[in-house]
Structure 1
Amino acid sequence: MPQHIRQISVASLFIATGINGFVVPAHLINGGIWGISLLVNYLWGFNLAIVFICLNLPIYFFAIKYDLAYFYKGLIGTFISAIFIKLLLPLTNFFHFPLLPGVIFGGLLIGIGVGLMLRVHASPGGVDLLALLLSKKTSINPGFLLLGIDAAIILFGVVALRDGRLLYSLLIISIVGITVAFLTGIKSIKIC
């Protein structure tokens, strides 16, 4: 198995554990396409992994125009992440943390996964891929770009679901953004 596939798989494991083990049980959302997919799941009950893949397709058509390598690695990251989300669905009933520690652990796990994936110039999909492409063009750290986009998605979720508890999701994306900024800012780190 190629090195980048192993790294993407490890990163996807972190992301799926964070989402299924901590975000979904608390009925919160993450940012990005995962956040939008979770909103669609909560509102209409559609399959999370399938919605995630479908929402990513237009973004990948955009990405193929700008960077073919990011397109392929991002596509791999999206499908591997979706597979892990589906496989680790039983984790939604496994962990039983109070809300705040769950938010912290979930944010850290997702942030580690996204950060590790971005380090190999891959993406778990959607907004992460856009942030990676934008950071390449603007030299702004992708973690900070993600933070702004994700905050807008969560605020929309608060309005759509009329659930103030979703504001805890802002803490999730803050932890994810800071973790991603830290991991993408370190010059030498190897996983797998």
Structure 2
Amino acid sequence: MTAVRGAFTALIHSRAERHSLLEDAQGIVAGSMLAVLGVALLQGAGLFTGGTAGAAFLLHYATGLSFGACFFAINLPFAYLAYRRLGMGFTLKTFAAIALTALLSEVVPAQLGLARVDPLVGGLFGGLAIGAGMLALFRHRASLGGIGILAVYIQDRFGFRAGLVQLGFDAVILAFAVFLASPFIILCSVLGALVLNLTIAVNHRKDRYIAF
């Protein structure tokens, strides 16, 4: 009975410095849903972005493979880094976020009916939605994998803001998009990536948000 009571307490109760399991689950689901909304907007506009999502878009546009499958596969090699550098808890929550995002991205975009989105609108709102989703995940000690894992590790280890670290990697990934899209699409993609990373850089600071 004591063990059951302890498990129930961990599920629903939190402290100022620690989220409960239920809060973590809510944060992972909400963050993944926001990210998928952003992916749907970018996909409807034919745009790219940075990080492993950007790499998945490149592979998706170049080969015709589904975005969700590409996103999941690209993130698998980063699981070891997550485990070694950021612990089992971070790894499990991140894997859950990656799997949920990949799964929802297979279903949700078609249900939203966003087949034709203005590239400028898609870049602005898609970048903001993904940034907000990643922010929610970061605050529950999770990420969307890949570069996000590396960005959070570098912030925790060296103090550089995660959003600015990811911005540097995004610039490299977006550079490859010039072989697949027009200059206007690239410009809107860059704008979306800036919005995404500035959202994280402005709002995610370890010294302001202490819960984990």
Same fold (TM over 0.5): yes
Structure 2 CA distance for aligned equivalents of residues 166 and 101 of structure 1: 14
Taking the TM superposition and a 5 Å limit, the aligned residue runs for 1:45-124 are: 45-68=64-87, 69-90=89-110, 93-94=113-114, 97-124=117-144
SS in 2 for 1:122: coil
Structure 2 CA distance for aligned equivalents of residues 7 and 84 of structure 1: 16
Structure 2 CA distance for aligned equivalents of residues 62 and 94 of structure 1: 35
Q: CA deviation at 1:67?
A: 2.0
Partner of 1:174: 194
TM-score by length of 2: 0.81
Figure out how many residues of one structure are paired with residues of the other and give that number.
Answer: 188
Partner of 1:148: 168
**2:66, 2:106 within 8 Å by CA — same for their partners in 1?**
no
Which 5+ residue runs of structure 1 have no aligned equivalent? none
Q: CA deviation at 1:96?
A: 5.2
Structure 2 CA distance for aligned equivalents of residues 141 and 178 of structure 1: 10
**1:154, 1:167 within 8 Å by CA — same for their partners in 2?**
no
**2:147, 2:166 within 8 Å by CA — same for their partners in 1?**
yes
Structure 2 CA distance for aligned equivalents of residues 188 and 136 of structure 1: 13
Q: CA deviation at 1:174?
A: 0.5
Q: CA deviation at 1:19?
A: 1.0
Q: CA deviation at 1:185?
A: 2.9
Partner of 2:52: 33
Q: Computing the radius of gyration over CA atoms, which structure comes out larger, 1 or 2?
A: 2
* Closer/same/farther in 2, CA of residues 93 and 16 from structure 1, 3 Å limit: same
Structure 2 CA distance for aligned equivalents of residues 145 and 185 of structure 1: 13
1:5 to 9, 22, 25: 25
Q: What amino acid does structure 1 have at the position aligned with 2:81? A: F
Percentage of matched positions with identical amino acids: 26
Dislocated runs of 4+, deviation >4 Å: none
Of stretches 143-152 and 98-107 in structure 1, the one that deviates more from structure 2 is 98-107
SS in 1 for 2:143: coil
Structure 2 CA distance for aligned equivalents of residues 122 and 163 of structure 1: 34
TM-score by length of 1: 0.89
Structure 2 CA distance for aligned equivalents of residues 40 and 79 of structure 1: 18
CA RMSD of aligned residues (A): 2.1
**1:17, 1:91 within 8 Å by CA — same for their partners in 2?**
no
